[in-house]
Amino acid sequence: MEESAMKQWTILLAAAGLGLAAIGAGGPQAPKADSDGFVSLFDGKSLDGWEGMPGYWSVVDGTIVGKETKENSKQTFLIYKGKNFSNFELHFKYKFATPDGNSGVQFRSKVINPSTWRVGGYQADMDGKTGYDGSFYDEAKVAGRAVTLSNRGEKTVWTADNKREVDKLPESNAQLKKYIHTGDWNDAVVVAEGHHFTYTINGHLMTDLTDNSPEALKDGVLALQLHQGFTMEIQFKDMKIKELK
């Protein structure tokens, strides 16, 4: 485009309230942060920005739904595309629409089998019978241990020589379990900052993990889990994240 023509286009676009960046801007724009610095991860209408196994994930009434039968169940995940996260504060709501099932929110995780959308790494754990909600798990041994890294009601430190040290939180496992809603929405917050992670549900700190292990994960993808072996439905909504320095 000649310089004179470019100037004319600039004037017209400015009058319309547009900028030159609008020209040729293909695809949807990245969501903008709100006044508190949070970016929405789910538009409430579609799975734009996510990818997973066809037939297992959908959007219903403003929620992300993961659904399977035991006969056709998979160890599969819905993966947030295009960005790895390291330090962040993540807010989301979840609900089991079935009395059984197992799920979790993966963070600082790795895609280990793209053909089945299989992910491993840190997981904020949850299940339909409230046995694991509020604990951190190492999915698929990607962080080197394939165990529950920090149980509900505990403050856990993994040392540099991979030893586990445990203290109790002010509220016990049994006390904290009473705050988890069965068959209804739970409001969850996961914070990852350096080697330190916390998992809060319905305003109560469930577990506190410091991972100084040499195999600790520094960054990775976010993902939602459907666990193999269940007839289940898990729902998520109001997912937003703020990156921390």
Q: Span 12-38, mean pLDDT? A: 53
Question: pLDDT, tens digit, for every residue of 133-186?
Answer: 999 999 999 999 999 999 999 999 999 999 999 999 999 999 999 999 999 999
Token output for 113: 């089998």
The amino acid at residue 140 is A
196-227: b (≥16 Cβ within 10 Å) or e: ebbbbbbebbbbbbbbbbeebbebbbbbbbbb
What is the gyration radius of the CA atoms in the chain, in angstroms?
A: 21
How crowded is residue 79: how many other Cβ atoms within 10 Å of its Cβ?
Answer: 21
Q: Please give the helix or strand (H or E) that residue 42 lies within, else none.
A: none
- The pLDDT tens digits of the residues spanning 48-104 come to 999 999 999 999 999 999 999 999 999 999 999 989 999 999 999 999 999 999 999
Query: What tokens were used for 220?
Result: 């990775």
Domains, the chain: 1-30 (no CATH), 34-243 (2.60.120.560)
Q: pTM for this one?
A: 0.87
